[in-house]
Structure 1
């Protein structure tokens, strides 16, 4: 089932999430989130973006994949970032909850992460490049942080009227 995307202006996007328990029915939720992500042709979708205040997000790099790496399609439950690299880079980010706005955001290039997979097993791995960036963007959603929060005050002022339009349309 395709889920409605929560737009900028909703208090849900500023809320912190809670851990998923093994008893939670996260399989159906993750499948619905993946379908929604595919329909919207995005590369990441977090619980708060579909009005679920749980620590879950899905990543699908199929729509942005280049020929150099295989696409990543994955569900992350109760994710954590354990370590950030010191090397950072800018990348033009967008967000399904903030349609039509794309801005350069600086983030670490490499991160060490821990999460639970679809079997609720704990996994640890090191992510880099685009997958690390998407993970950080979606992880921010679980903390109530949006990519626009990482912009300079000047860039925020420049996009302020667009943000107000999105917020008005979400009511």
Structure 2
């Protein structure tokens, strides 16, 4: 039965490590980890989660955009586990939008990300997939991809004066 795991908080060394590649997507231990990550992400109202965020330095994350109190305008897509992910192309066009992170609770900031990306990854069944993402799903993929490379969203904030608390972010969203 899947369990909710502790989420590593900023300052934990695992969040700054480059994650190792997964050797066997079919490994039952890895399959349990994916299930646990999904439960952890859902309980924390996240739209994605990377293995390093649950103290596992593996190149694995889940992308799961869906509306939530943290992201009320997110599109709804099925959670997808992505093993050994790569970005193989990114649009020149970038967009700056708000991000937060389960490992950095209480803070939000606008971050520039590519609007469209083409990616390659293994599914939990071991199938190689190549697909394009755009908009919010592309943003979530890039955010989680950063995690498996030891990068967190605050590293991408261009001006630290743009950092806001969750409470201030909610107020800003109310104002439109």
Query: TM-score, length-normalised on structure 1?
Result: 0.86
Which of the residues 40, 48, 53 maps onto 2:52? 48
- 1:136 correspondence with 2:138: no
Instruction: Assess, with a 3 A threshold, how the Cα gap between structure 1 residues 66 and 150 changes in structure 2: closer, same or farther.
Output: closer
Partner of 1:168: none
Runs of 4+ in 1 over 6 A off after TM superposition: none
- 1:20 correspondence with 2:22: yes
Q: Verify the 8 A CA contact 1:65 1:71 in the aligned structure 2.
A: no
Secondary structure at 1:12 match in 2: helix
Q: Which has the higher helix share?
A: 1
Secondary structure at 2:106 match in 1: strand
- What is the CA distance between 1:70 and its match in structure 2? 4.1
Aligned residues: 157
- 1:29 correspondence with 2:65: no
- 1:88 correspondence with 2:94: yes
Q: Verify the 8 A CA contact 1:88 1:107 in the aligned structure 2.
A: yes
Unaligned runs of at least 5 residues, structure 2: 166-176
The within-5 A match list for 1:15-164 is 15-22=17-24, 24=27, 25-62=29-66, 63=68, 64=71, 66=73, 69-152=75-158, 154-155=159-160
Instruction: Quote the RMSD (CA, aligned, Å).
Output: 1.8
Query: TM-score, length-normalised on structure 2?
Result: 0.83
Q: Distance in 2 between matches of 1:122 and 1:28?
A: 20
Q: Distance in 2 between matches of 1:37 and 1:11?
A: 20
Secondary structure at 1:124 match in 2: strand
